[in-house]
Structure 1
Amino acid sequence: CFVYLQLNIEVDYWLNALNWTMIGFEGSANKIGVGIIRDGEVLSNPRRTYITPPGQGFLPSDTARHHRAVILTVLKEALDEAGVKPEDIDCVAYTKGPGMGAPLVITALVARTVAQLWGRPLLGVNHCIGHIEMGRLITKAHNPTVLYVSGGNTQVIAYSERRYRIFGETIDIAVGNCLDRFARVIKISNDPSPGYNIEQMAKKGTKYVELPYTVKGMDVSFSDAASKMLSSGECAAEDLCFSLQETLFAMLVEITERAMAHCGSQEVLIVGGVGCNLRLQEMMGVMCKERGAKLFAIDERFCIDNGAMIAQAGWEMFRSGQVTELQDSWITQRYRTDEVEVTWRD
């Protein structure tokens, strides 16, 4: 009778787990998003982007000011869009890091406040793992080699023994940061993003300008290519955009293929803001086809920083028994992907 009772309790627990509703707050850079997920279904995912004039980047203090001004509006939108009330939320997740300090603090402060007001548990989520778990949810990729490319991060990752292991990464600046720097110098618009506008200009480029191609084992370097671009003289902007993309993306494809060979992987998943780039997806697709592998990619709704990815990673953590105590709900600008114990995967 005791065993029977225990089995029924466990079955009831996991059936209820399937209906858990998670809210996620993301604000590690220039985007502030709030997403709500229930059992793998995205109920809402609104966000706002802090956009600066051409030639300018975004400073942490200004970005935090933007997030503070709009975050409650975005929260209300998320609840209204999802058709849920605070009492329907089971857990509150927020981006713990990595990212820019001031925007992260604003996001964590609101998440902590909401969790206490609603009487719900809190979860600090690694931003990078949020991207990975969102990619796995949307694409249904089984166990892919992951290329994570964004404004602040460039990593080739594979899962092994309860960790997302970093097989290769940038040794200086991230690929998105390289694109952003170039966009600032030639005054490309930041609306909707520098990378998107570079992609559109690159489609009109016809002449390839040779740039430094720096791959060191499994790692890459982008600063030399950025420096060369800024001193390329009288080349047309479209040709420079075309050349920059071709060079940077070839480096990324090379180290991803090497990681696949090492892991015996037949799947590639591209995540992060730069992962929206169709030329990167095309180049990676050619490599995958030659290897008989499969490419998984997602569009800008889920590739670019968003609250739903934090909610999804939080759902995975929560169902495996993790919570973040209030006294531990701090943020960190440096939070490596491989620091997190992945308790929700075999």
Structure 2
Amino acid sequence: MIALGLEGSANKLGIGIIQHDANGEAIVLANVRHTYITPPGQGFLPSDTARHHRAWIIPLMKQAFAEAKISFFQIDCICFTKGPGIGAPLNSVALVARTLSLMFKKPLVAVNHCIGHIEMGREITGAQNPVVLYVSGGNTQVIAYSQRKYRIFGETLDIAIGNCLDRFARVIGLSNAPSPGYNIMQEAKRGNQFVELPYTVKGMDCSFSGLLSGVEAVANEAMDGINANEITKQDLCYSLQENGFAMLVEITERAMAHVGADSVLIVGGVGCNDRLQQMMGEMCLDRGAKVYATDERFCIDNGIMIAQAGLLAFKTGGICSLEDSTITQRFRTDDVHVAWRE
């Protein structure tokens, strides 16, 4: 079976083609992506992002099928991101999926973006039943599987950790290429002074708005010459990561203790961060557990994760009608019936 996956929930447009062999093993045939990048200090507007996706989706589609060396008629299903995400770019990609479905008479599969990350992570790393830390620009959740659903044990109460990093990168003028979070990680490696910042964990949930406000205030003082401690932007990036990631490790460990898990899977764009993986690894080492993570090909938003989760759903009857192929910006992870897992 072969599935086409279309992902466009934020500023990254991805096209993936995956094949499952007779044993159910996944074979990546193509995984191409193009990112809408704005000038330093600016975020991306929904309308501009949707325009980017419309301009690039056909060239990317052609590139994906050229790499896969198959024709469109060999596709068994068309999988697209239903949500969560930003409305305008989601709609642009869903429209293309519906059009292709009508043109080539292929069934549609609506995929939850978060589930796509989890299933691709499980497939690539071989993690069987881990506690999942899902961290990205729009989402921060601690998840564990139970009774045909991915249950959310804890999440952000306001902004996501990725959004926190991105917004601070704008404050200090870091480039958006290849991503603000990546550039903060590089700056943090040169930081050598820890700055006290707000640390907010409430039970199993986190809050990052106070952390962002705190680090912005220190940054403004440093730029105005008010602070006499010669705090650099590298110090602030380092302190921001240490505080934010410590919150994530704390709630992840608490979830592991609750369910008796012996492994953690980190997924989402922030999951590529070296320091987050290191901190999580140290916690897991103390617990005799294991941490799993993927590289930028699979942790950053991509089409192959949508194809993987979509094909799993398709094989268990998860076909979406044309009438139901709308998008849901706040599509919850725990709203999905996971029919393909025991």
Q: Do both proteins adopt the same fold according to a TM-score greater than 0.5, normalized to the shorter chain?
A: yes
Q: 1:8-63 CA deviation, whole Å, 9 max, x = no partner?
A: xxxxxxxxxxxx00000000000001000001111100010000000000000000
The aligned runs of 1:303-318 (5 Å cut-off) are 303-318=299-314
Whole-angstrom CA distance in 2 between matches of 1:38 and 1:116? 22
Gaps of 5+ in 1: 1-19
- How many angstroms does 1:154 deviate by? 0.0
Aligned match of 2:240: 244
Aligned match of 1:5: none
Aligned match of 1:325: 321
Letter in 1 for 2:30: S
- How many angstroms does 1:329 deviate by? 0.5
SS in 1 for 2:313: helix
Letter in 2 for 1:323: I
Of residues 151, 160, 163, the one that matches 1:174 is 160
Whole-angstrom CA distance in 1 between matches of 2:69 and 2:247? 44
Matched, 1:121 2:107: yes
Q: CA RMSD in A?
A: 0.5
Whole-angstrom CA distance in 1 between matches of 2:200 and 2:318? 40
State percent identity of aligned pairs. 67
Matched, 1:52 2:33: no
The aligned runs of 1:141-180 (5 Å cut-off) are 141-180=127-166
SS in 1 for 2:206: strand
Letter in 2 for 1:93: C
- How many angstroms does 1:248 deviate by? 0.3
Aligned length: 327
- How many angstroms does 1:116 deviate by? 1.4
Whole-angstrom CA distance in 1 between matches of 2:198 and 2:49? 33
Of residues 105, 120, 124, the one that matches 2:91 is 105
- How many angstroms does 1:153 deviate by? 0.1
Moved over 4 A (4+): none
Matched, 1:264 2:250: no
Letter in 1 for 2:318: Q
- How many angstroms does 1:117 deviate by? 1.1
Aligned match of 1:43: 29
Gaps of 5+ in 2: 21-25, 223-230
Aligned match of 2:71: 85
Whole-angstrom CA distance in 2 between matches of 1:198 and 1:140? 30
SS in 2 for 1:133: helix
Letter in 1 for 2:109: L
- How many angstroms does 1:245 deviate by? 0.3
Question: Scaled by the length of structure 1, what TM-score is found?
Answer: 0.94
Aligned match of 1:288: 284
- How many angstroms does 1:118 deviate by? 1.3
Whole-angstrom CA distance in 1 between matches of 2:124 and 2:19? 14
Whole-angstrom CA distance in 1 between matches of 2:35 and 2:283? 33
150-159 or 231-240, larger mean C-alpha shift = 231-240
Whole-angstrom CA distance in 1 between matches of 2:317 and 2:53? 30
Aligned match of 1:299: 295
Letter in 1 for 2:27: E
Of residues 181, 189, 208, the one that matches 1:195 is 181
- How many angstroms does 1:317 deviate by? 0.1
SS in 2 for 1:328: coil
155-164 or 113-122, larger mean C-alpha shift = 113-122
Aligned match of 1:344: 340
